[in-house]
Amino acid sequence: MAVDPARPFKPVNIAVLTVSDTRTLDSDTSGALLAERVLAAGHRLVVRAIERDDAAQIASRLRGWIDDPAIDCVITTGGTGLTGRDVTPEALDLVRQSHGGKTIPGFGELFRWISFQSIGTSTVQSRAEAIVANGTYVFALPGSNGAVKDGWDRILAEQLDSRNRPCNFVELMPRLKEV
């Protein structure tokens, strides 16, 4: 990361959603890890929740957060695999369609490239992805602690830092709702 110390840091309002049928806030280590990193970076953790592996329920939660002007970014953890219960990408697709959003293909591509360095070819089982809808970023990470570390430490920490050069997601925020 190339941080330009002359640029001001702008905290981002972030919501964290864990997608799981089995975790609770007490047992959700990946959500807790992500929340800790968000706060340590100087951002605001607006809300943290858990949602069951149900595309309609996940999409409903995401739509509510996307429509909330107090939330700039949502990061999900879990539900990006290949099994029948892994439906987070499908939920993002529902939200993208209903809110006229756009995919951010480079996020998933970069995540898998970074993940390959840690877990090898097993990364092909990840459907990590990102969208922007109604001016809000939504990033979907796998549910492991390693995936959260890779996604936050090696992508999102830089791209959600307004001082990152040559460019970052934060500087685009004022223009995300342009038509």
CATH number of the domain where residue 49 is located: 3.40.980.10
pTM for this entry: 0.97
| Structure confidence at residue 179 as a pLDDT band (50, 70, 90) | confident
- What is d(CA 151, CA 112) in angstroms, rounded to the nearest whole number? 9
The mean of the pLDDT values for the chain is: 96
Residue 152 domain-assigned? Answer: yes
Q: At 57, is the pLDDT very low, low, confident or very high (cuts 50, 70, 90)? A: very high
Percentage of the chain surpassing pLDDT 70? 99
Helix (H) or strand (E) run with residue 93 in it: helix 88-98
Query: Domain for residue 175, yes or no?
Result: no
| pLDDT(1) > 70 | no
Whose structure tokens read 């369609």? 97
In a domain, 59, yes or no: yes
Mean of the pLDDT values across residues 62-71? 98
Query: Is residue 77 one of the residues assigned to a domain?
Result: yes
Kindly report, residue by residue over 132-175, the tens digit of the pLDDT.
999 999 999 999 999 999 999 999 999 999 999 999 999 999 99
User: Average pLDDT, stretch 84-98?
Assistant: 97
pLDDT exceeds 70 at position 46: yes
pLDDT for 77 equals: 98
Q: Domain count of the chain?
A: 1
Tell me if 135 is assigned to some domain.
yes
Tell whether the model's pLDDT for residue 178 goes beyond 90: no
Residue 142 lies in a domain: yes
Give the start-end residues of each E strand in the chain.
Answer: 2-3, 13-19, 44-51, 73-77, 102-103, 129-133, 136-141, 164-165
User: What confidence tier does 130 reach under pLDDT thresholds 50, 70, 90?
Assistant: very high
Sorted by sequence, the CB contacts under 8 Å of residue 118 that are 6+ apart come out as 146, 150
What whole-number distance in Å separates Cα of residue 11 and Cα of residue 38? 10
Residue 42 inside a domain? The answer is yes
Q: Is 84 exposed, middle or buried (0-12, 13-18, 19+ CB in 10 A)?
A: exposed
Banded model confidence at residue 96, pLDDT cuts 50, 70, 90 = very high
Going from the C-alpha of 160 to that of each of 25, 44, 81, 163, the distances in angstroms are 25, 12, 25, 9
Residue 75 — pLDDT band, cuts 50, 70, 90? very high
Residue 102 lies in a domain: yes
Q: Which domain holds residue 131?
A: 10-170
Residue with tokens 């340590």: 40
